[in-house]
Structure 1
């Protein structure tokens, strides 16, 4: 089990603030520098220092440019740089996702295709390091769950190469769709496109800090130092929990109430959900408003399959709204063992309960096929499969004596 990291964006977020906060919270400096060498980029060096920001002290990470990129980067060139690096696949994928979000946002802001965007702001060396360093830092800290607060975007106007723009700028506004934002503090830009794109890619949910036992807290300094305002990004990091006990994972629970769907469609609906990766689907009878009988459709899906499952629900049902929340599961380690029943293979699903205890159940579809082929009752086939497994266990135990 890894760590939970929460970004507290009371003064916005930027790429260098993310790096500074991670270092301040305990990310080893040498590990970050060594890891970034995997990008195989030359012409820069990293520097960290402690700086005051109003009443707080924070870590400022700076990228000292000795020789930068000769021209602005396209998304295609960024992908090539990442693909040629020796970074781990998860770091490559998430870094690429950050740049793809940035390209989409810049494209929307300037009315062009994402592939045609030239990254003037994030194409320079320091922002490239900020993006990959932020993703890499979370992996080096073994962070497996990331959440974030609402983002303070600042206020006023900013001067850009495109002229005077309101805060938040068009790219930040596009990236912040669906994310809680607000405006507070000094009249300046507090959230940058790079910072918001990092959060949109890394964080699984946005909202207040949930129940958490923080083991370390870090403060990353922004460039601006407004009088009387602590311009820092704060992170809370939980302790790393060992793998002792039952393993857990986090999945998305998708639910909606149905009272006007033809029951003949239920089987097709469940088949479609399983086809797009649902882990479980249940139809729960309930009494709804005006005492009408109805069904609660409840589906568990991996986080990266949420959109596909939602698409099926909206296409195949009469639902106009769906409830979605992330939930934790305690799961038993499991494996499959094959036994022979009447000369045919039947898989037994074995779940380890600890202390030598286990649960064993024959796979229904295998038993159904044996019953159809032999003409024997399904119940009897399932009993025979369970007996065959018990006998095989006894035989193995006897051979070890």
Structure 2
């Protein structure tokens, strides 16, 4: 299952929660139960209501507590270390706790950068209030329950103007929000006001490693709408969540990878081989291949192609410039299809061997690691050892 967040009016924590519950109303009872014993929410009531803004219909997630805390003039302070300790010591399940701390950690890091301090010293104001704690715990529970294989989002609307906070009047987007949106797609649609809150931007940063809908064929199975408090001119103030399901016949998963390419014509083979080994050893490099290519004037060159993690392009490029004589590198982020695989260690009469099991559309295949088979007394013996190891891996996995 893949989920896409369409930020029609923007995003805040309560809008995200409401959209998920509009998509999956069956999760409402479990969420209310979790919130009843979540930490730091004593005296807080949460409820889900239907909403119709005259254009679209959906849900709203309301977090309320009687008393002066409901006014905008009161700012509850909560230290990040206290929130983290309370979440860690709570009765929340491990997954919900993990996601909640993950989202809050992003907020703490952003606030620390804004105020020039360490994350441990951060004291939250608006995002530390009981309503935002409820939003983040609720979001964390729903994220854990959905267990989506991929989250994506549309461009986040920047908004404009000023917002009143515990630190005074700040520009929109708020400084912490702007930091959390770095690297994510944004859009200025001309509609003013705070369109993305710090909590909303932290959820986006936490979930959405990719901003675009997958190009692979999928079935759209459901959608839900979560509304915020404000009314926007000419547009619904909501988040739409769209649920996709891969075709049942699809075995391969998908992700994105960085491809870096360049050619070498002035480096010795011995030195280039060492440079490529150093590249291959980098933790964010997935693979490196080299191939003979013809350059200008018919000269032989070596073409190098590197596959790397998308968030490590700058580091890998710098390493490639240091390890080779190239002075230019092409790179792009591309989608790829990958088959599920795992490495099994088998024990046979000929010794242990690592075998890669791969799930293909037509069935499972096994391939023993050549270096584990040994030299052997000949090709026939090596082939026999390979077949024994691969059969043992298949049988062991199936038993």
Q: TM-score range by the shorter chain?
A: 0.7 to 0.9
Note the aligned Cα RMSD (angstroms).
Answer: 3.5
Residue 124 (structure 1) shift:
0.9
Residue 62 (structure 1) shift:
0.8
The question of whether the paired residues in 1 share the 8 Å contact of 2:291 and 2:304 is answered with yes
Query: For 1:224, what is the secondary structure of its paired residue?
Result: coil
* 1:399 counterpart residue number: none
* 1:46 counterpart residue number: 46
* 2:340 counterpart residue number: 331
Counterpart of 1:254 (choices 251, 258, 267) is 258
- Counterpart CA distance in 2 for 1:352 and 1:169 is 47
For residues 232-274 of structure 1, what are the alpha-carbon distances to aligned partners after superposition, in whole Å with 9 as ceiling and x for unaligned? Answer: 11110124876xx674434442211122484534455446545
Q: With the length of structure 2 as denominator, give the TM-score of the two structures.
A: 0.80
Counterpart of 2:306 (choices 298, 302, 308) is 298
Greater Cα shift, 128-137 or 319-328: 319-328
The question of whether the paired residues in 1 share the 8 Å contact of 2:286 and 2:308 is answered with yes
- Counterpart CA distance in 2 for 1:182 and 1:225 is 19
**1:200–1:86 Cα change, 3 Å:** same
- Counterpart CA distance in 1 for 2:371 and 2:242 is 47
Structure 2 gap segments, 5+ residues each: none
* 2:22 counterpart residue number: 24
Greater Cα shift, 110-119 or 20-29: 110-119
* 1:382 counterpart residue number: 382
Q: With the length of structure 1 as denominator, give the TM-score of the two structures.
A: 0.80
The number of residues matched between the two structures is 377
Query: For 1:383, what is the secondary structure of its paired residue?
Result: helix
User: How do residues 183-202 of structure 1 correspond to structure 2 at under 5 angstroms?
Assistant: 183-202=188-207
User: How do residues 7-156 of structure 1 correspond to structure 2 at under 5 angstroms?
Assistant: 7-27=5-25, 28-37=27-36, 39-41=38-40, 42-65=42-65, 72-156=77-161
User: Do residues 276 (structure 1) and 288 (structure 2) align?
Assistant: no
* 1:223 counterpart residue number: 229
Structure 1 gap segments, 5+ residues each: 397-401
Greater Cα shift, 110-119 or 258-267: 258-267
- Counterpart CA distance in 1 for 2:315 and 2:390 is 44
The question of whether the paired residues in 1 share the 8 Å contact of 2:23 and 2:225 is answered with yes
The question of whether the paired residues in 2 share the 8 Å contact of 1:334 and 1:352 is answered with no
**1:275–1:86 Cα change, 3 Å:** farther
**1:350–1:320 Cα change, 3 Å:** closer
